[in-house]
Structure formats: structure tokens, C-alpha cells
Structure 1
Amino acid sequence: MKKMKIYFNRWFSVTYHYMNAIRDNEDGMEFEIYGTHPDPGHMALQGCDVAEVEPRVTGREYVDFCLDFCRRHQIDVFIPRWNMLDISRHISLFEEIGTRVIVCSDTELLEQLMEKDRFYESVREKGIMEIPDYFTVSNAAQFQQAYEALRARGHDVCFKPCNGEGGMGFRVINNESDPLQELFGYALNSISYEDALRAFSSAPSFPNVMVMEVLEGYEYSIDCLSDRNGKLLTAIPRRKERGRLRLLEENEELLAIARNVAEVYRIPYNFNIQMKYRKDTPKLLEINPRMSGGLHMSCLSGVNFPYLAVKSALGHDIGPLHPKFGILGSHIEQPFIIDVQKVSGVHHV
């Protein structure tokens, strides 16, 4: 049986773990891993059997690059992160050359998921979980009004770009910090109201930002696995503990939310729901329609999330899954010898 060819485009460094999880699968299926990234020294490329440097382009031009890559290398399964929406819009072009794409093909839903305020409104309409108090702003006056309204409701305030990823652009407004003390401490994600307003006032408008209540309770990432039709197969609530500790917790309230999200939105393959508690109420932060940056921690449950998504994309049924909960996990850095030949051998396209 020939090795199946899997292609990751521009992903996170932790994708190195996901590539190895696919290789080290429980069924003994054999794979070749292909990858592209604009940085030839990126860690994700070290996990690849074949790697190339991709061009710094977007839109249809980037889709054409990925399509050509899949055609040249006869890729069986493509797992995109960068430019997911454009790739999803042209998924039929990949299917025509025999490449299956692990992406949400419902482009309207994908657009909502990438614009957090739009998705919040969808969740509010469907009533499947609680969302934070928030306002969407695009100029300094709107920011000032949103801040004052949330403070009047008794909330501490934070903000984040509507289309941000991970912690990019996230700030908590803190008016009681000591600037001198902060200079000698760790870099923080806080900012004073005056500094935020000054920054937002430096331009007549800016891309949409969500100004919202600060949630002070436990934060969870719920890693979910569905089949190619969006039927939920399993979910792992992963609670952030102090430092790098993560607890895989059998939280029935959050598992019910995962089932509701899957039933309503039918997101295929891997997706991640981020929740945070306000007192006893979990509220939505965001949903990522892809493998999360911490998915390797949830794999400690015994569920091989990256491989099972590939297995489903290839048309195989996934049997009953029995994840282990109550696991407290963490990770540490490990010295790694870079394969210089692999990096220097990567050719520019």
C-alpha cells in the first residue's frame, strides 16, 4: 500500500507534534508529510519529509500556489490554516485533482467564525451558550462609549480585534498599574484606558475591535473532533491551570456545549471552543475551525485528534472513542538539532 501524502501549509510550530501524531497512528497507516512556510527555518518544516518555501501572497494567488503544490506532489489530504477561507471557497478545484481538504466547506459559517462579533450574534440568536457583554467599535468615540457602558454595568474591560488569532491584539484595561514597576517585570497584556484611547485616536478609524467584559474564572479550550459530515465524535475540555499545567476535565456542562455547537453548526474534522467562566457561568470566547495550538495536550487523553481527522477525510469510519479524563499535563522545551540540509535544501517558489 502506498504512503498517503499529507500537506500542511503555513501552520504553527506545534504542528511538528501533529505531524508526528499522524505518523505514529494506531492503525499502522504510512504517511509522507509535506509542508510549506515562508520561513525556511520554521520548526513545522522540520517535521516534514518534503518542504518548500511558500510565497508571501494572499487570496486567489495563494490558492493557486497551494493547488499547484498539491498537483505536483499528488497530495492526498491538504490541512490548511493560512488563508483557510479562500481555500474553502475553491475547494472544488482541489477535489478535481484528487486532493481532499480538511476545512469547513460552509464558507458563510467560516466567515462568521473568523469575524468574532458576527459569530457572537449567531450564537445569541440560537441561544446555545452564553456570550460576554460586548460592543464592536471602529473609532475612538465608539471605544470610549463602549468602555463607559461596560464600566457602568460593573465590568472590568478588555478588547481584542474581531479577526485576531490567539492572543494577538488582546489587552486588559488596567488603570492601577505602576509603569516603572512594569518596566522591570514581565511583558503584560494590559494597558491603561488613557493609553488605549490615545492609540485608537491616532487614526480616524481602525479595523473592528470587540470591547468586552473581563471574565475572571477558569478558562477552557474544548478540543473537538467531528467526522467529515460534522457529527461530533468526541470532545476534551482542557482547563488552564497555573503556569503550563493543563487539566483534561470531564466537565459535563462544557461537553453539552460542544454537542450543541456540533449539532447546530456541523463543523467538520477538528475544531476548538474557547470558554471562560464568570462566576458559575461559562461564556464563549471564540471558536477556531481548525486544530488548536494546544491540541497535543488533549492527545494525552488517548485520542489522536490529527490522525483521526485525516482518517475521516480519507473516507474511513471512526469507531467509538473512549478518552481518558482527569489527566494533568504540561510540556517543557527540549533541545533540538536542526536538519541544516533540510532547511538549506528548501527551494524558493
Structure 2
Amino acid sequence: MTNIYFNRWFSVAYHYMNMIRDNPDGESFRFYGTHPDVNHLSLQACDHAEQEPSLQGGEYVDYALDFCRRNEIDVFIPRLKMLEIAKEIGRFDAIGTKVMVCRDVELLESMMEKELFYERLQGSDVVPIPEYETAETPEQFRSGYEKLAEQGHRVCFKPTNAEGGMGFRIIDNDLDPLAGLYGYVSSSISFEQAYDALSRVERFPKLMVMELLEDEEYSIDCLADSAGGLLTAIPRRKAAGRVYTLDAVPELLEIARGIADKFRIPYVYNIQVKYNKGVPKLLEINPRMSGGLYITCLSGVNMPYLAVQEILGKRTDTPVPRYGVRASYIEHPIVLADLR
């Protein structure tokens, strides 16, 4: 029996635990989870769950280490505090817990701080990156916006260290404020609205002011061995209405190979790209299982399970994905069990 621990994951971890549990080899696993919310859906797939205390930095790492020691965890799959945990990975090695995280701390830090990763890619031919400026003051924000607008770009901005769509805004100076009050909440904002909000402080957390990429968006879910050798990459195209298509796009598969060869990211990670005027440009790399990975696994490649096999040293055949799959998802009710 192998004990696996997921800490403060998204609700989709419910799927990933069950995909590992329902593996084709009949391997047995016991799942442990922690989260501040005792009713969080990720905990409903756990055999044992615990409410997380509110801790920061090194104290959180101490808590995770103690949890692994107390529960004899074999594999720890962190989401929260990945960087802090990676910096202390020797302490987990010492108690026999394998941590599914990138051990190259400098690389991991750059992937979690988008500006740093863009800087690493400057001058390389691995993947095009959007035109961008960084801003920490109102005047830097204005300057960055004006520079990109003068180049003919529509402009957006996002915090350098945000996950997913957090903090993402599109600058649209043709907004109708009244229509906005009666419609759905929008990610669009006028320059003056954004500038006014940012001008309330002298300095704010760093933003990336970027060209808006306006065409198709893809998530490329990647599976690699423990040394970062790419085993498979599966592009997942996002469309309106929660529709996804698994497409074998040659230029995207080439981008995945180039990133794997250059950075050697281990286990499961996600490359997000978006097209603009026919060119696929990098949005970000998530050094963990993506929120939509369970859709990608409809290709027949059980990435969560295969990643666990890799970290346990149980090599498997190179998986061959099935492309052309179109999929969506619907809400499904779950009767909540008590925290165990």
C-alpha cells in the first residue's frame, strides 16, 4: 500500500486521486489530504483528511513535514508552497517521502514568477513570448500601456505571480459603464479606471503589462520522467461553452519538446499558449497538474498515475495518446462525508 498526500489542492484533485486509485495495474494506494475548508471537495476522495492550520513560510513546511512523518507518506504531491517545500526537500528525503516537485529551485521560482521565466526565454527560439512591460508604480503602468498601444497592440495586464485567471484584466477604453452594471462581470477595464485604482498607492505588487493574445488558446499537458525527459505532450484546445478538443498540433508538440529539452521539468506540468496573428505565444508554465488535466486524460493517458509510477521508480511504456477527442463537463452532486 502506497500512501499519497495532496495538500490544499483545487477541487479537481478529487479526479486525480480517483484516477490513481482506479489504475489499470491493480496497484493499491491510500490518499491523505489537508485543506483549511473541511468540506472542500478534494478531501472527499481522501481516505484520511485533516484541517490545515493557517501557517506561512517555514512554519507551513514544518507542518507538511510533520504530516508526512506522522502518516508515513510515500509520495507528497504539493500545490501550496511548492517553492518553499522544494527549498527544504532534503528534509523530506530524510524521512523517506518522495516529493513530486521540480528540484531545480531557481527554475521553479522563475516558473512561479512569470517575469523571471520570460527573462530566461529572451533570445531563445524555444517559444515566442508576448511583448510586455513590467510595472510597480502608476507611471510605469502608464508608460508600459502607452508603449504597447503605440505598437498597435491591444493591451492586458496580470500580476507576475498569479495562478490561472487571477488578476487578469483587458484594457478596453470603449466600455459602456452602465451596460457593465447590468451584464455579466467582465475582465475588461478602461485604462483610466485601472490607472485610478493603481494611483491610490505609490507602489503596488508587480504587474506584467502585455500585448493581448486574441486567438485560440491551448493548454499543453506534459508528462516527463524524474529527470525531465518528455514522455508525452497533449495539446488541449479551449473553446467557448466549456468545449475542449485534444489536437495533435505539430508546432505545439515542437514547443513542448523544446521546453522539455531546455528546462528538464519533471513529472506533470502544463504549458499555456495563446495565438496572436497566427503565432503561438507563451502565457505561462504551471509546474504541477493543471486544472483541466482530467479532460486531457480522456486521451487514454492517465498522467497522474503514470507520474506516481515514475516517482516510485516503476518505469512504464511511453504512452500513446488518442487525439481528436472533444469533451466538456457538467456539475455532479456529491454527498459530503465527515472529515476523517
TM-score, normalised via structure 1 length:
0.96
Which of 120, 123, 136 is residue 122 of structure 1 equivalent to?
A: 120
Q: Could you tell me which residue of structure 2 aligns to residue 293 of structure 1?
A: 291
Q: Could you tell me which residue of structure 2 aligns to residue 170 of structure 1?
A: 168
For the residues of structure 2 that align with 1:296 and 1:84, how far apart are their CA atoms?
21
| Structure 2 counterparts to residues 101-116 of structure 1, below 5 A | 101-116=99-114
1:202 partnered with 2:208: no
1:320 partnered with 2:300: no
Q: Could you tell me which residue of structure 2 aligns to residue 98 of structure 1?
A: 96
For the residues of structure 1 that align with 2:257 and 2:296, how far apart are their CA atoms?
17
SS at match of 1:253: helix
Q: Displacement, 1:125?
A: 3.2
Which of 135, 158, 161 is residue 133 of structure 2 equivalent to?
A: 135
Q: Could you tell me which residue of structure 1 aligns to residue 242 of structure 2?
A: 244
Aligned positions, number: 340
Give the counterpart letter for 1:4 in structure 2: T
Give the counterpart letter for 1:97 in structure 2: I
Which of 66, 69, 85 is residue 67 of structure 2 equivalent to?
A: 69
Which of 150, 153, 156 is residue 155 of structure 1 equivalent to?
A: 153
Q: Displacement, 1:41?
A: 1.1
Cα deviation per residue 1:79-129 (whole Å; 9 max; x = unaligned)? 000000000001111111110000000000011111101100111233211
SS at match of 2:295: helix
Q: Could you tell me which residue of structure 1 aligns to residue 53 of structure 2?
A: 55
Which of 309, 326, 334 is residue 332 of structure 2 equivalent to?
A: 334
| 122-131 or 39-48: bigger deviation | 122-131
SS at match of 1:126: coil
Q: Displacement, 1:241?
A: 1.2
Give the counterpart letter for 1:130 in structure 2: P
Q: Could you tell me which residue of structure 2 aligns to residue 278 of structure 1?
A: 276
Cα deviation per residue 1:151-177 (whole Å; 9 max; x = unaligned)? 000001000000010000000011111
Q: Could you tell me which residue of structure 2 aligns to residue 11 of structure 1?
A: 9
For the residues of structure 2 that align with 1:266 and 1:239, how far apart are their CA atoms?
24
Which of structure 1's runs of 4+ aligned residues deviate more than 2 A? none
Q: Could you tell me which residue of structure 1 aligns to residue 28 of structure 2?
A: 30
Q: Displacement, 1:279?
A: 1.5
For the residues of structure 1 that align with 2:293 and 2:221, how far apart are their CA atoms?
7
The percentage of aligned residue pairs carrying the same residue is 57
Q: Could you tell me which residue of structure 2 aligns to residue 302 of structure 1?
A: 300
Q: Displacement, 1:185?
A: 1.3
SS at match of 2:241: coil
For the residues of structure 1 that align with 2:312 and 2:62, how far apart are their CA atoms?
23
For the residues of structure 2 that align with 1:189 and 1:318, how far apart are their CA atoms?
43
Q: Displacement, 1:146?
A: 0.5
For the residues of structure 2 that align with 1:320 and 1:288, how far apart are their CA atoms?
22
For the residues of structure 2 that align with 1:178 and 1:220, how far apart are their CA atoms?
30
For the residues of structure 2 that align with 1:54 and 1:281, how far apart are their CA atoms?
43
For the residues of structure 2 that align with 1:321 and 1:304, how far apart are their CA atoms?
9
SS at match of 1:125: coil
For the residues of structure 1 that align with 2:313 and 2:189, how far apart are their CA atoms?
49
Q: Which runs of 5+ in 2 are unaligned?
A: none
Q: Displacement, 1:138?
A: 0.3
Q: Displacement, 1:179?
A: 1.4
Q: Which runs of 5+ in 1 are unaligned?
A: none
Cα deviation per residue 1:328-347 (whole Å; 9 max; x = unaligned)? 010000111111xx23x5xx
SS at match of 1:122: helix
Cα deviation per residue 1:287-338 (whole Å; 9 max; x = unaligned)? 0000001000000000001111111000111212110000101000011111
Cα deviation per residue 1:41-90 (whole Å; 9 max; x = unaligned)? 11111110000011111211101100000000000000000000000001
For the residues of structure 2 that align with 1:212 and 1:243, how far apart are their CA atoms?
26
For the residues of structure 1 that align with 2:123 and 2:285, how far apart are their CA atoms?
16
Which of 219, 222, 227 is residue 221 of structure 1 equivalent to?
A: 219
